[in-house]
């Protein structure tokens, strides 16, 4: 019995988008879906109850961060991450590789794994496919990501080729080390940078492992938008059509729509929560920097067209005041609204797919939001 199954419901006649359902031991969620990031076992400033209010269905957390603090042994003793953070819906954990490469200056990548220094204490650490699987097993996440290397952008062809081949060998080692396929699903991560033939090799290597889901990695790492779109266009059709497709690190409104059109089912991004904490809000007519002086006496909601609790009960002037005074409640209000905005957007994307009009929806949304048409 595999822990994660994908149900393809329909493909949009107007685009390559698809409507689906992912089933996990902690419940199911419709796709395309946006997944809020909860790195340290919390979606920053949000309670699980509030996340349920905005209908968040699955959240993300992090092997690397939770291994360092509080320690995956403590979370295991708590009965796993769901119990520890009081979240009874699906959780996906990243494998830690990406975080090591982005957080630790000193690191040494070897076949057996990565030697690096704890970015907080400086102590020497070692992470390997086996270790990453053991930690994710302790956390008890429904979806585990394979331990991969996400090379920095740009990377030479030769470096990327060697890295892709090692990431494929690491994925096999993750699968061999997988102790609990009955209640945790292991997703592979396709690498290859901006090189089509390496993307193809990576996709084929991983597809041969017959994993329950696949991610496109190595994007949203500083590459130009046209390269990201070219790699997305090329790689998505190489992924098994009967498995969920997860585009890692992508979450701006235009990218969610474009990714869905290209057949992506799952997205994550720190953007909505991160920009909320510096007082920037997503609205149906573009970004609004609520801390700007021009909102000092603006007693209207963040977004007239938004029905969320924040837009019904609080004004721009009040939220601006809280943000200016660094009041936590202000960040809670902007975060709640931004997450609601993206989750609502995905609901509209799913509706558009079911009515075969995602292309029209994209045009209308881009027009209103102010994205220049590519
Ligand atoms: C809690 C959490 C935070 C962040 C992530 C995704 C983090 C992330 C990327 N983010 C932007 N681009 C990314 C690429 C990769 C990648 O190639 N491999 C992995 N393992 N993660 C990536 C997952 C979980
Ligand atoms: Zn709102």
314 CA to middle of ligand 2, Å? 9
Q: Report d(CA 287, CA 283) in Å as an integer.
A: 6
CB atoms near residue 226 (< 10 Å): 9
Atom index in ligand 1 nearest the CA of residue 38 equals 1
* Cβ of residue 217 lying under 6 Å from some atom of ligand 1: yes
| 77 in active site | no
Smallest CA separation from ligand 1 atom 17, residue: 217
Using DSSP, state whether 282 is helix, strand or coil.
strand
Supply 330's token pair.
Answer: 């202000």
User: How many CA within 13 A on the CB side of residue 343?
Assistant: 23
Ligand of minimum distance to the alpha carbon of 150 = 1
Q: In what order do the strands lie in the sheet with 5-11?
A: 5-11, 18-24, 27-31
* Cβ of residue 267 lying under 6 Å from some atom of ligand 1: no
Ligand of minimum distance to the alpha carbon of 36 = 1
Out of 94, 142, 148, 265, the active site residue is: 94
Nearest to 303 by CA among 320, 283, 278: 283
Check if the beta carbon of residue 214 is closer than 8 Å to that of residue 240: yes
Check if the beta carbon of residue 33 is closer than 8 Å to that of residue 364: no
Out of 148, 258, 268, 303, the active site residue is: 268
Q: What is the pLDDT of residue 372?
A: 63
Q: What is the pLDDT of residue 374?
A: 47
Q: Which residues pair with 267 in a beta bridge?
A: 34, 247
Q: Report d(CA 345, CA 293) in Å as an integer.
A: 28
Pocket-testing residue among 144, 217, 218, ligand 1, by greatest number of atoms within 8 A of Cβ: 217
Q: How far is CA 350 from CA 80, 153, 301, 358, in A?
A: 32, 32, 26, 8
Q: Report d(CA 101, CA 269) in Å as an integer.
A: 18
* Cβ of residue 146 lying under 6 Å from some atom of ligand 1: no
Complex-level ipTM beyond the 0.90 threshold: yes
Supply 148's token pair.
Answer: 């991969």
Per-residue pLDDT tens listing for the chain (374 residues): 689 999 999 999 999 999 999 999 999 999 999 999 999 999 999 999 999 999 999 999 999 999 999 999 999 999 999 999 999 999 999 999 899 888 877 789 999 999 999 888 989 999 999 999 999 999 999 999 999 999 999 999 999 999 999 999 999 999 999 999 999 999 999 999 999 999 999 999 999 999 999 999 999 999 999 999 999 999 999 999 999 999 999 989 999 999 999 999 999 989 999 999 999 999 999 999 999 999 999 999 999 999 999 999 999 999 999 999 999 999 999 999 999 999 999 999 999 999 999 999 999 999 998 886 54
* Cβ of residue 104 lying under 6 Å from some atom of ligand 1: no
H or E element, residue 9: strand 5-11
Nearest to 29 by CA among 347, 252, 257: 347
Q: Which residues pair with 188 in a beta bridge?
A: 214
* Cβ of residue 164 lying under 6 Å from some atom of ligand 1: no
Q: Report d(CA 127, CA 96) in Å as an integer.
A: 8
DSSP characters over 229-295: HHHHHHHGGGS-TTS-EEETT--SHHHHHHHHHTT--EEE-SHHHHHHTTTEEEETTEEEETTSGGG
Pocket-testing residue among 46, 62, 150, ligand 1, by greatest number of atoms within 8 A of Cβ: 150
* Cβ of residue 147 lying under 6 Å from some atom of ligand 1: no
| 265 in active site | no
Atom index in ligand 1 nearest the CA of residue 37 equals 1
């Amino acid at each position: 019995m595999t822990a994660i199954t994908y149900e393809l419901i329909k493909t949009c006649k107007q685009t390559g988008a698809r409507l689906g359902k992912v089933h996990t031991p902690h419940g199911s969620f419709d796709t395309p879906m946006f997944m809020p990031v909860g790195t340290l076992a919390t979606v920053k400033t949000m309670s699980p109850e509030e996340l349920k209010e905005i209908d968040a269905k699955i959240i993300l957390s992090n092997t690397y961060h939770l291994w360092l603090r509080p320690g995956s042994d403590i979370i295991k003793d708590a009965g796993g991450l769901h119990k520890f953070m009081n979240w009874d819906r699906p959780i996906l954990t990243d494998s830690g590789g990406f975080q090591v490469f982005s957080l630790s200056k000193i690191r040494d990548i070897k076949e057996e794994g990565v030697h690096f220094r704890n970015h907080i204490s400086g102590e020497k650490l070692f992470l390997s496919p086996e270790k990453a699987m053991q930690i994710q097993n302790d956390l008890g996440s429904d979806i585990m990501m394979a331990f991969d290397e996400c090379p920095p952008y740009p990377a030479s062809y030769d470096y990327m080729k060697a890295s892709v081949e090692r990431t494929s060998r690491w994925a096999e080692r993750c699968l061999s080390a997988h102790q609990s396929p009955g209640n945790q699903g292991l997703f592979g991560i396709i690498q290859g940078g901006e090189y089509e033939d390496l993307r193809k090799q990576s996709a084929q290597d991983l597809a041969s492992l017959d994993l329950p889901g696949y991610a496109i990695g190595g994007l949203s790492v500083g590459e130009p938008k046209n390269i990201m779109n070219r790699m997305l266009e090329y790689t998505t059709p190489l992924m098994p059509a009967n498995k969920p497709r997860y585009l890692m690190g992508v979450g701006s409104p235009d990218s969610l729509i474009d990714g869905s059109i290209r057949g992506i089912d799952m997205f994550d991004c720190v953007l909505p929560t991160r920009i909320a904490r510096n007082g920037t809000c997503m609205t149906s007519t573009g970004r609004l920097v609520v801390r700007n002086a021009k909102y000092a006496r603006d007693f209207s909601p963040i977004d007239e067209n938004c029905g969320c609790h924040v837009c019904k009960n609080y004004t721009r002037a009040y939220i601006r005041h809280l943000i200016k005074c660094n009041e936590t409640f202000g960040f809670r209000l902007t975060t709640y609204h931004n997450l609601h905005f993206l989750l609502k957007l995905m609901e509209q994307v799913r509706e558009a797919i079911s009515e075969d009009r995602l292309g029209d929806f994209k045009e209308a949304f881009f027009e209103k939001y102010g994205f220049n048409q590519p």
